Amino acid sequence: MLFAYPKANTKGCTSQAVGLSEKAEELAAAGYKVYGISADKPKSQANWRSKESLAFNLLCDPSYEVCSRNNSFLLSGQLHVLAYEQQRGCRHAAC
């Protein structure tokens, strides 16, 4: 599961990330691995993850290479979740 957000350590993104983090064990039991992604720098991501005790790894995409391949969802400035399922492929849910 790829959780995309426009900017780490902002009110809306933090609220969504913490909510998703609280579901990490439930998602893992269902077979999902959760990752967050944004264009933020690694240090910013690491500080935010530590500060909020997020239960998933954060990925950096400063050139929007990954994000642009997924219909530019991050470029819209909104939070999005993409769930990649082995049998079904990619499922998209906007937050």
Indicate which residues carry an active-site annotation: 13
Give the residue among 47, 53, 34 at the shortest CA–CA distance from 8.
47
Q: CA-CA distance, 56 to 35, in Å (whole number)?
A: 6
Residue 14: both structure tokens together: 């933090």
β-bridge mates for residue 4, sequence order = 37, 80
β-bridge mates for residue 89, sequence order = 85
CA end-to-end span of the chain: 13
